[in-house]
Each structure stands twice: as C-alpha cells, then as structure tokens.
Amino acid sequence: MKIEIELKSMKFYAFHGVAPQERTVGNRFVVDVWLTADVGRATESDRLEDTVNYAEVYDIVKKEMEQPSQLLEAVAGRIVRALRGRFPRILQAKVKVAKRNPPFGGDVESAAVTLEL
C-alpha cells in the first residue's frame, strides 16, 4: 500500500550560492518534500516505526541545509539521498529547494530547483 507524504514550506536560513558573499552572508530558503512510501504495515499496526517519521524527515532536511553548497541541485540531491538512505520504504522522492530573493539584480521572489527520484 502506497501513501504520499508532504512537508511543505520548511523555512531555513542557509549559506548556499555560487558567489562567495552568498556563502558568507546567507539567505532565506524554502524546502518542500513529497514522498511516496510503502506503509502498508502502518495502516494496521498504528506504529511510527512502520511509516516515515515526519519529524525525522524535517531533521534530515535541516541537517543537509546546514551544509553550505554552491548549487541548489547539490543540496536537493543530498536531501533525497539522505531520506532514501534513512527510510528504505520510500519508493519515490521529490524535493524542491527555493532561494528567496536571489541576488542577480532582478525583482525575483525565488529561484528554485526540483529534483525527483
């Protein structure tokens, strides 16, 4: 039995970017995670260990956001790999990492990448 799990609009202050200033000053980021997982046992057992623990998902995302990277693609890739490594019952994962007010001289709310595996 498959289930879809979403954690939306997780907000972080982090130090990702190509420019040295971005990795020094930092910026605001928003992360969304969508997971498809096999949780058939959890539907009957009502036990946390038979599903994907949302609090642990958040902690994994937070840990990966704390590691500075030049590219949002690298951040999203680390998040997906860490989630799949921790929760083998994940069948599909999709992660969106958005940088608020990117520093490239335009009026842009955010620049984002979405990675799906």
Active site residue 2: no
Write down the pLDDT at residue 65: 98
DSSP code per residue over 24-87: HH-EEEEEEEEEEEE-HHHHHH--GGGS--HHHHHHHHHHHHTS--S-HHHHHHHHHHHHHHH-
User: pLDDT tens, position by position, for the chain (117 residues)?
Assistant: 899 999 999 999 999 999 999 999 999 999 999 999 999 999 999 999 999 999 999 999 999 999 999 999 999 999 999 999 999 999 999 999 999 999 888 899 999 999 999
Choose, from 8, 62, 94, 99, the residue flagged as catalytic.
Answer: 99
Q: How many domains does the chain have?
A: 1
Q: Are 70 and 16 in contact (CB under 8 A)?
A: yes
Q: Tell me which residue range forms the domain holding 107.
A: 2-116
Determine whether 61 is exposed, middle or buried from the number of CB atoms within 10 Å of its CB (0-12, 13-18, 19+).
buried
Tens-place pLDDT, residues 3-32 = 999 999 999 999 999 999 999 999 999 999
User: What CATH number did the domain enclosing 102 receive?
Assistant: 3.30.1130.10
State the pTM of this model: 0.94
